[in-house]
Every structure is written in structure tokens, then in C-alpha cells.
Amino acid sequence: MTLSATSLAAAVGASVKNVQFQSGAVNVPHRIVVIGTYDPTKTSIVPNVPVLCTGPGDAAGRYGRGSMLHRLVTAVDKGSNGVEMYCIPQAEAADPVQAAGNIEFATSLVTAAGTLYLYVNGDPCHVSLVVGDTPATISTKVAAKITALLDLSITGTAGATAVAVEAKMAGPYGNDIVLSLNEGFNESTPAGVVCVITQPTGGTGIPDIDSALTALGTGDDVNELGFTEGVHGYGQDSTTLDSISTWNGVGNDAIGCYDKLIARPVRFLCGDTVAGSAGLADLVALGAARVYDRTNGVIAVPGSCSHPSEIAALAVGIMARVNNNRAAESYIGQILTGVFPGALADRWTSDYDSRDTAVKAGVSPTVVKNGAVLLQNVLSFYHPDTITVSSNGYRSMRNISIVQNLLYNVKANFQQEKWLGISIVADVAKVGNIVDRQKARDIDAVMDDLVELVKSFEEHAWVFSAAFTLDRLKAGGCIALRAGGLGFDITLPVMLSGEGGIFDTEVQFDTDIAIVL
């Protein structure tokens, strides 16, 4: 049955249709991608295919307990509190080498019972010792404890006087494993124990991350699953960072995931724990080499015994959780739960001028308060000399969150049914047929949607002021009709809201009470 504007027969019609009467912004749903290697004995895994991951337990079963992917997922999940996450498993590189170290007890003889407070990247691996324990006994106990803790990133084999330690995963990831003692409050080594630790080294072999990125889509389908954050276990490897940056889009151009037809940009982080001024100098040099990289950033916790890639994974999870709830929220003061601070002498982050130097180089420092490590400025490396700091939107990961939302909502608005199959006319008011008017659009119709979008952006605190944009829309020139009436070209100028972080207050005082009286 059809009821039209020309129908004559008596009838009462009633139907429903779900339409959007005006534009309104919504928060982009965040989704995290975790890229890393897996236990090579897991022969059923198909590499370089994104797989939905429900959490650490899922990752442990699929990719092996203590594997790179399992460890990264555990850290991401701790920070994200359940934000949707996918894994892209990668096979280890050709001819990979696992990092190896040693825990030596050669001159030990326990004279007072106690606990050996051993840590592996901050994970407790504590062993009870009794009077009379010899190097062989201690080594056997430590190796057994390492073996029992399946989620650790290492294996341990007891020898006559030492435990030979090997990373579960090949590659430089193992070189960042830190074995340490007495990280907790008031912990000490039992009397008679002499422990000499040789940190794991020698890990080589990084998979080609291009294979994983290609799995996220090519052409107009780049990042088709809509990932907003990502993390990997390949550290500061320049080839890896370059590939990710190129895939997402270098510089200030509409390329990669920033392409006009895609508009799905992603943020990535890696980590750093190198202590002291040398660590800061290395990071400044890293930032100096990556001034057009608006994708990658580095989180620094100098001197920490936690794994740098896992610190980055935790921070990525926090970013996703915070911005999933509020796109304009920054991360200043967010606690990196479970991350150990470095010794005070190792923390270049304790000095404001050093932190300021880092931030200007595109490096994200942290601070330690009451024993906890807190995020501060979380940045990408993007800081070209040609763009002033006050105009550099890509330098802040929080600003990129807002950009993700602006792009998402503009595309969503003009992809809705309201704008499909339209007829472009000079003046909708002159389209008299009620059916045809439903799909007739003019420049004023575009303007109406943009006005509502910008007002909604202001309501979410994504923009500093809607008035800034509205004034420019009213001035004209922001909406142009394409030749032949083939569509509209839009320029939408917005001023992002500011990111709080610096408060400079001066308290002025006097002692002349007579002024008050």
C-alpha cells in the first residue's frame, strides 16, 4: 500500500522512521591495538591478523604466559579498565636471539633466615631462605620460583652457584628486563647472601611491523577497525617508529590515517627507563630526529625497574580509558599503577627545567609523588620549528584525542541518511513537493548542520569558543558549491580548548598591620 501526496482514497496512515533532526557530537569509541610476538610453540596462531582480546587471561591462553603479547595486554588492561582491545600477533624475526643474564650466589652461605626479595621488572619473585642454605641450594630455590611464576618474562635454570636467566621472547625486548633486589619498603637481603646480578643482554631480532600495519587495512580501508591507540613491544627502534608514523601520516598533511577519506588517526607510545642526565640527553636526541612524527611518543620513568614497553602499554591504556569517557581530559596526575620509580639520584624528572627541556623536545616526563609515578605532559614527537608552541596541536596526545573526535563527528554527520541521495539546489524553500524537499539541500542546510556541530563541540569542551567558528561561518567563504553542483567543499575553522597544566601564582604579603586597621 502506498500513501503519497497525490492519494485520494480515505485512509489513516501511521508509520515510524528513525531520523536525526539536528547534528550532535558523540565521543568516539576508543579501541586499542597491541602488536607483539608470541610463544613460538603456539603453532596454531595465524600471524599478522587482528584478533579481539578480552584481557590478560585470553592473551595468556592464546599467546603464552609471559610472552610479549601477554605482558603488554596485562599492562594495557590495567590502565584501560576494559576498553576494547585487539592483538596483532607477530612471529619472531628470522634468526632471533634471546637475551640472557645471570644471578650469581657463589660466595653465599645463609647465616640468618629471611626472604630474598628478588624482582623481575618489578614483579615479585620472593624466595624464603633458611640458615645453612648454600649457593647450590639458593640457586635451586630461585630457579624453582621463577619456573613457578608462569607470568614472568624469563626462565631460570639452576647451576652449581648461579641461576642462568633467559628471556622467554627473543629480541631487544629481553634486553629491557631488569632483575633487582629489595625494591619494596624496608626490604633487605638475608645475612650471608651475596648476590651478583648480570642483567639480560644480547637479545636481537625485531619483526617487520609493516606486516601488522598492512593487516589494519590498505587504501581507503586503512585502520578500518577504528583503532584510536596502539602499543608494541619493539621499543624505540627507528625502523618501527618510522613505519608507524608513515602509516598514520607524517607532518601536517591529509595522508595515511589522516587522509580525508579515512580520518581515523591513531596514537602510539613507547617507553624509556634510562637513568640520569644521559637518559635525558638520549631522549632529546630522539625527539630532535622525529620533529614531524605526530603519531609516536615516549614515556620516561628514569631508573625504573619496570619494563619500558609495559610502562608505555599502561599509559596507552590510561589514555584510552580517560578519553573514552571525556575526550578533552588530559592525563596530568594519572598514576602509573605498579610502576616502580627509579632511585632519586636517577630521576632527571625531579628537576622542572629538565622536564621542560624534555617537553620541548617532544618527550613525555613523569614525576614521583609519595612513591607513585604520575603522568605529566603526554606528547607526540611533533614539534617543527616552523610552528609555534601555542599553535602546535599535534604535540599533545590530549589534543589528538579531540582531533579524533572532530573528524569522527564531521564524517558521521555527513554520512547519515539525511545526506545520502540528496539533490543540491540554490534554495530549499523553493522546492514545493513535500517528498522532494526531504532530500533537497542547499548551502544553508550545510550551514545549519555545521552550526549545530560546533555548538556541540563547545558543549563537550573540545573547542575554546563556538563563537570563533560561528563568526567565520557568518563571514562566508567556508562553504562552497562545487562546479556542476556535484557537492559541497567545507572549511571549518575551530580553536581547540586549552590543556591545563601550568599555574603560576604569586602570593604577596606585608607585615604593616596599620594598612588593615
Domain CATH for 169: 3.30.70.2120
Co-location of 382 and 447 in the same domain: no
- pLDDT score of 18 more than 70: no
Co-location of 288 and 364 in the same domain: yes
- pLDDT score of 20 more than 70: no
pLDDT at 16: 72
Q: How confident is the model at residue 14 (pLDDT cuts 50, 70, 90)?
A: confident
Average pLDDT, the chain: 95
Q: Which of 134, 169, 201 is the last residue of a domain?
A: 201
Amino acid type, 207: P
Amino acid type, 430: K
Amino acid type, 412: A
The distance from CA 287 to its chain's CA centroid, rounded to whole angstroms, is 17
Q: What is the mean pLDDT of residues 384-391?
A: 89
Q: Is residue 325 domain-resident?
A: yes
- What lies within 8 Å, CB to CB, of 107 at 6+ separation is 135, 194
Q: How confident is the model at residue 272 (pLDDT cuts 50, 70, 90)?
A: very high
pLDDT at 90: 98
Q: Among 5-14, 58-67, 198-207, whose mean pLDDT is lowest?
A: 5-14
Co-location of 154 and 41 in the same domain: no
Q: What is the mean pLDDT of residues 262-291?
A: 97
Q: Which of 201, 227, 244 is the last residue of a domain?
A: 201
| Percent of the chain topping pLDDT 90 | 91
Instruction: Quote helix, strand, coil % in the chain, to nearest 5.
Output: 35, 20, 45
- What lies within 8 Å, CB to CB, of 306 at 6+ separation is 121, 122, 178, 273, 338, 339, 340
pLDDT at 19: 61
Co-location of 135 and 228 in the same domain: no
Q: Is residue 81 domain-resident?
A: yes
Q: Is residue 393 domain-resident?
A: yes
Helix (H) or strand (E) holding 71: helix 68-80
Co-location of 238 and 260 in the same domain: yes
Higher pLDDT, 56 or 3: 56
Co-location of 368 and 274 in the same domain: yes
The distance from CA 101 to its chain's CA centroid, rounded to whole angstroms, is 30
Co-location of 185 and 225 in the same domain: no
The number of distinct structural domains making up the chain is 3
Q: Is residue 55 domain-resident?
A: yes
Co-location of 246 and 332 in the same domain: yes
Q: How confident is the model at residue 5 (pLDDT cuts 50, 70, 90)?
A: low
pLDDT at 395: 95
Q: What is the mean pLDDT of residues 139-149?
A: 98
Q: Is residue 23 domain-resident?
A: no
pLDDT one-digit tens code per residue, 204-221: 999 999 999 999 999 999
Q: What sign results for the dihedral spanned by CA atoms 268, 335, 287, 204?
A: negative
Co-location of 334 and 464 in the same domain: no
pTM of this structure: 0.94
Q: Is residue 136 domain-resident?
A: yes
Q: What is the mean pLDDT of residues 486-502?
A: 92
Q: Convert 415-445 to b/e letters by CB count within 10 Å (16 or more is b).
A: eeebbeeeebbeebeebeeeeeeeebbbbeb
Q: Is residue 53 domain-resident?
A: yes
Co-location of 227 and 161 in the same domain: no
Q: Which of 365, 400, 435 is the last residue of a domain?
A: 400
- pLDDT score of 17 more than 70: no
Q: Is residue 516 domain-resident?
A: yes
Q: What is the mean pLDDT of residues 486-510?
A: 91
In whole angstroms, give the CA distance from residue 210 to residue 240: 8
Co-location of 353 and 459 in the same domain: no
Co-location of 228 and 325 in the same domain: yes
Give the domain range for residue 482.
421-517
The cell 599509559 sits on which residue? 315
In the Cβ-directed half-sphere of 331, how many Cα atoms lie within 13 Å?
Answer: 33
In whole angstroms, give the CA distance from residue 453 to residue 451: 5
